[in-house]
Every structure is written in C-alpha cells, then in structure tokens.
Structure 1
Amino acid sequence: MAQTAESVLKDLEAKKFAPLYFLQGDEPYFIDSITEFIEQNALTEAERSFNQSVVYGKDVTMNQVLESARRFPMMAMRQVLIVKEAQGIQDIGRKAAQEQLITYAQNPVPSTVLVFAFKNKSLDGRSQLKKTLEKHAVFVDSKKLYDNKVPSWIKQHCKLKGFNIKDRAVGLLADHIGNDLARIANELDKMMLNYEDGSVEITETMISKHVGISREYNVFELQSALGKKEVFKANQILNYFEANPKNNPVIPIISMLFSYFSKVMLVHQNRSLPKNELARLLGVNPYFVSEYMLASQNYPLNTTLNIIKYLHQADLQSKGVESVASESQLLKELVFKIMHA
C-alpha cells in the first residue's frame, strides 16, 4: 500500500531506514525530499566514501543496479544506493528487468538502502511490479497538490521549520507561485535564514521583501480590487503589470482570476452554509470568506456566469486563439468587461 511522503519522512527522522524505497509520481518535491534526507542522513560522512553510491537511470541497467544492491557494506551497518531519474533506467520497460526487480523486492538485502526516484512518471497500476512494490517496499505515489491544498501545505511547512505565517501572507505566496512546492519551499527557507527566532510570525511585508512580490501590485490584490469593484486600484495594478511583464505573465493571471470567480460562483450556490463549512468548500481560510461574500453581492449570479465566459475567452486568446492584442491590452479589456459586466 502506498505511503504518504510525510509518514516516510517521519520514520526517516526517527532513524527507521527500510531496505527498498520506490518513489514515483508527478510531484518531484516529495520525491526529492525523501531522497535527499536518505542521502544526507542514512550514513555518517566517514561511511559515505565506501558505502554510498548515487547513479542516474540513463547510465545503468536494472541488473547493474541490483548487483550493486546485493553487495555488503564496508565497515558500516549499511550501504546506500540511490537511483535518480529512475524512470530512465535503460531496460525499465522490459519484462525481464521488471521480473528482476520483483524478485529482489520480495527478498531485499537488509543491509542495503536502495532508493528508486522515479520522477514525473508512474508504474502501470495493474502491473505485477507495482503490486509487488506496494507490498514489499516503501512505496510513495507523489501527486501534485490541487491549488486549494497549497495554503495548508505552506502553513505546515512553516510550522515544521518553527514559524507561524499569517493568512494573507499564505495567500500572497500561493497566488504568486501556484503549486510549485519546490520553489515555495526554497523561497521560504531562504527567507527564514534572516529570522532565526522562530517566534517571528511571517507577514505579507516579509514575503514581499524576500520573495520579490510587490505588496500592492499582485494578482492577490487585483482579485481583491475586482471583488470590491475598486476601478482605480485595479487599473493601478494593471499599469504595474504592463511595466513588469516578465514578472506578471498573463496566462497564470487569467487562471487565478478564473479560480477566484469560480469560488464566487460557489458562494452563490451555497450561500446558506455556515462560514466554516463555506470556507472548507472554497478551500480557503474562514478569514477570507467575507471577501468572497462581498464579491458575490457585487456580481450577481448571472453576471458571474458571464464573467466566467469572459475568462474562458481570454484564456483562449492568451494562448493564441483568435487574438491580435498584446498581453497587457488583453488583460485590460478583460478587467473592463469584468467591472462592467
């Protein structure tokens, strides 16, 4: 049965190392986190010279990997063998290689920690190989987080590092970066180096300063201006976007606005729900529910439906379908339509 990355990391932190790990999926952050922890902590620095090997899939066959895994450690309790980019193993798609791994998985060498980092791909769920690995190995299926799960992940990451983070700071970071967990973690970890005292709460100002996001001119604030129908503020943000196009590409902006107005639509359909239940449905902190409620008042149901149509049309145009306008002009026209819908 597949395990979560969090549970595997918890075991590793407790020095519980298994003989075989198979890490697959389209979210590389969790695969890299487990791999790097094993690489840095399974052996002491002195033991690594003779007992740790890191290879890349394209450079090896399955037979070569398993022959190395069957060796015994030298003057250490264990040896570590990590296969990065394991999806590139030369014969991984062949029946003979898969049967070799099945045989090894059923009786792995207990003094070896063998790690397959099988990134951006997954084994066939019906295959005997996958069923065997789920049963006999530490098997992790690392999946991309949905956008509405990213804020809670950011909070958890900060908590593990000993920091609290304000809700608006979470929203600013999630809206700016999206679900690129590796980049979010990297930006947060770099910022935390400046604040050794874990009692410091991470704020919007800190995110703006260290991550390079304008506190006043970002998609998060554009959504807020649209929801409140603040025309002047929205146009200020659009002018900033036009002056800084590389940092504000139009396609993700449209995607975020689509997500925003989709939530406004959900408010229309579920207005009678208690605040906490509505927040759970929207995938936001209860703190933000009042903003979506205000937007639903400013944009009635039929108007919201029209706005979603405008966003869909703008998305197509941003990708080159029936569009001759520049990105900035496209965005200005979109915002005008939303404000006057």
Structure 2
Amino acid sequence: MAQTPDAVLKDLKAKKFKPLYFLYGDEPYYIDSIAEILEQKIVPESERSFNQFVVYGKDTDLAGVLSNARRFPFMADLQLVLVKEAQKLVGLDQKESQERLAEYAENAPESTVLVFCHHGNIDERKRFVKAMATSGVVMQSKKLYDNKLPDWVSSFCVAEGVKISPKAIQMLVSNIGNDLKRLSNEIRKIEVNLRVDQGIDAEVVERFVGISKDYNVFEFQKALSVRDVLKANRIANHFCSNPKDNPLAPILIILYGFFSKLLLLYASQDRSERALATQLGVNPYFVKDYTLAARHFPLPKIAYIMGYLREADARLKGVEGGSMGEAEILKELVFKILH
C-alpha cells in the first residue's frame, strides 16, 4: 500500500500532485524533504499568506486541521494545509477522530492538498490510512541499513551533479553515520566551496567537514586490517585524546561490521570482486581491503576478535570491566586485535 520516497519524488518532479499525503516512518529525511517540496510547489509565494497553512501537531487538533482543509482557497485553485509532527496531533489516536479523517479522505476536495508529516510508524490496516492511500499518497520512509549508506551518498552526489571519490564516501559515512539529513547538509556545504569541475575527495572532506583524512575511523579500520601497529596506535591515541569527537560506541559498531564481513568472505565460495562486493554489501572499490585483511587474519583469529569486540561493548556499557574508561577499553582492544 505505502509508496516509496523515490516514487513520490518522481511524481512531484512531474508536477503530479494529490489531494492527500500521509508521510510516515522512522527516517525523517524523506518526510521533511517531500514536505519542503510541497511547500514550495503547491501555492505560489504571493498567495501563501492566505492559502498556505503550516501547523504543528502539538499546537492543534484533528478537527481544526480538517476544518481548514474543507475551506475554499482565496481567489485561487489550490491551498495547502501542512501538519508537521503529526504524531503529536490531538485526536489522531482516537477512533472517532480517525473515522472523521477517513470520511474526509473518501471525499477529499480537489482544492486542498492536505499533508501529514508523521515521524514514526502507523498501522496501515486502519481505515483512514487505507482511505488516504486510495485518494492520495501514503508513503513510508524507512531507515536505511548502514551498508546501504555508501550507495545513498553516491546517488545523492550524482543527483547533485558532483563527483565523489570512494574514500570520501567512506569518510563521510564512517564519521557521520546513519543521519541522511546531516549527510546531505554536509555534502551541500562542500558543494558551495568547490571550484568548477572539482569533485569531492578526502582532502576536500577534511577541509570543509572537519573530518581528518588521517585520523578517522576509516583509516583506523584500515590500519588494523593490515596489522599496522604504529599507525593503529597513533590513531587510537588521537581518539583517546579527543573523546568528544571520537566516541567509542560508533567505532565498535564499525569494527564489528568490518570483521563480520571478513567472516562472510571466508564463507564465500566465489572470490571474484563482483561476487564478494555483493556478498559483503560493499562498493567493489573496497573489496581489496577485505581480501588484504584476510591475508593478515586467519579465521580463528577473527573469531577471537569478534569476542574481543563484544567484550569491549559490554565494558563500555558497564557490564564488565569495573571502572574502565573509554580510552583504556580502546587501547586494550587494539592490543588484542594486533597481537
């Protein structure tokens, strides 16, 4: 029933608008982006003061929203009623109000575009959701899996018309994580400072985002993967000296993912670059990093490392290790992985 963000964006680009939009899910980026497009496209700027109503769920109720939606636009063909943070809208969780919304959706006026931005999930079996899907758009915005982030950054840059190197992608993803809004904002911030025909590489990311091209999680992982003792300890010491900018929890998650993929590599029958890229869920450019790491870490050692990572996570959460701090946990982990 629910449409994907890509499908909705395609229709909006073609100026195919619907009278109803119910945008929901646990990934706010697409919900907010589509709402922003509707704000810019539905009502001309000169008419927005009297034909565009933007309200927040905590400040109104469903009855008031529907009352605004049923009014006629002032000397125009369309009006926009946009409800942000609709998960806080009074009445949306009440059966009687939901029935009113379903009745509205079944006879939605063509002169109003009514939009609900609902951060969180919703039961698509409810009558009002089904009615909105029939006469309008119900879109689910799902959180991306971490292994899909590099492809998302690459696609975003293609859409923006800017080239980006695989290492720059990895630096952004490793240090920013699963935050599409921040990723998109950082990329756009970089674009503003690029010269004509200049792409985004590691040096550009370091200069404009503030992520060191030498002291980042990606380089730390790479140093560990080839058992470069000096470099790994140098980066670990940098992390320990700057704990606010380099918290341990995300580092453990990234390392756990890397060594988990090494286990998959050992289990793979087809060791071709394309097959391994698919099996590991990584860009083919990075397959060589895993095959190289496999030469340095035999299978039994990887099994031990997975245990070390779980132990470090438990200590970080206070389950084990008493009063060990993040720096001490990290240094001990590096020693165990490398020796």
TM bucket, shorter chain: over 0.9
> 1:49 deviation in Å?
1.0
Match of 1:313 among 308, 311, 314: 311
Contact residue 57 and residue 90 of structure 2 kept, 8 A: yes
Structure 1: give runs of 5+ residues left out of the alignment: none
CA distance in 2, matches of 1:233, 1:271: 33
Q: Which residue number corresponds to residue 239 of structure 2? A: 241
CA distance in 1, matches of 2:82, 2:277: 42
Q: Which residue number corresponds to residue 257 of structure 1? A: 255
| One-letter amino acid of the counterpart of residue 164, structure 1 | K
> 1:126 deviation in Å?
3.1
> TM-score, with normalisation over the residues of structure 1?
0.96
> 1:271 deviation in Å?
4.9
Q: Which residue number corresponds to residue 40 of structure 2? A: 40
SS at match of 2:140: strand
CA distance in 1, matches of 2:292, 2:27: 35
Q: Does 1:146 align with 2:127?
A: no
Contact residue 78 and residue 111 of structure 2 kept, 8 A: yes
CA distance in 2, matches of 1:276, 1:144: 26
| One-letter amino acid of the counterpart of residue 216, structure 1 | D
| One-letter amino acid of the counterpart of residue 36, structure 1 | E
> 1:214 deviation in Å?
0.7
Q: Which residue number corresponds to residue 208 of structure 2? A: 210
CA distance in 1, matches of 2:75, 2:103: 27
CA distance in 1, matches of 2:334, 2:72: 65
CA distance in 2, matches of 1:204, 1:336: 28
Structure 2: give runs of 5+ residues left out of the alignment: none
| One-letter amino acid of the counterpart of residue 313, structure 1 | E
> 1:196 deviation in Å?
5.8
Contact residue 276 and residue 286 of structure 1 kept, 8 A: yes
> 1:135 deviation in Å?
2.7
Q: Which residue number corresponds to residue 124 of structure 1? A: 123
Q: Which residue number corresponds to residue 294 of structure 1? A: 292
Q: Does 1:285 align with 2:283?
A: yes
SS at match of 1:80: strand
Contact residue 19 and residue 135 of structure 2 kept, 8 A: no
CA distance in 2, matches of 1:271, 1:332: 35
CA distance in 2, matches of 1:136, 1:335: 57
In percent, how many aligned pairs have the same letter?
49
> 1:66 deviation in Å?
0.8
SS at match of 1:165: coil
> 1:104 deviation in Å?
1.2
Q: Which residue number corresponds to residue 31 of structure 1? A: 31
Is the deviation greater in 213-222 or in 319-328? 319-328
Q: CA RMSD in A?
A: 1.2
> TM-score, with normalisation over the residues of structure 2?
0.97
> 1:61 deviation in Å?
1.6
> 1:4 deviation in Å?
1.4
SS at match of 1:202: coil
> 1:91 deviation in Å?
1.2
CA distance in 1, matches of 2:88, 2:305: 45
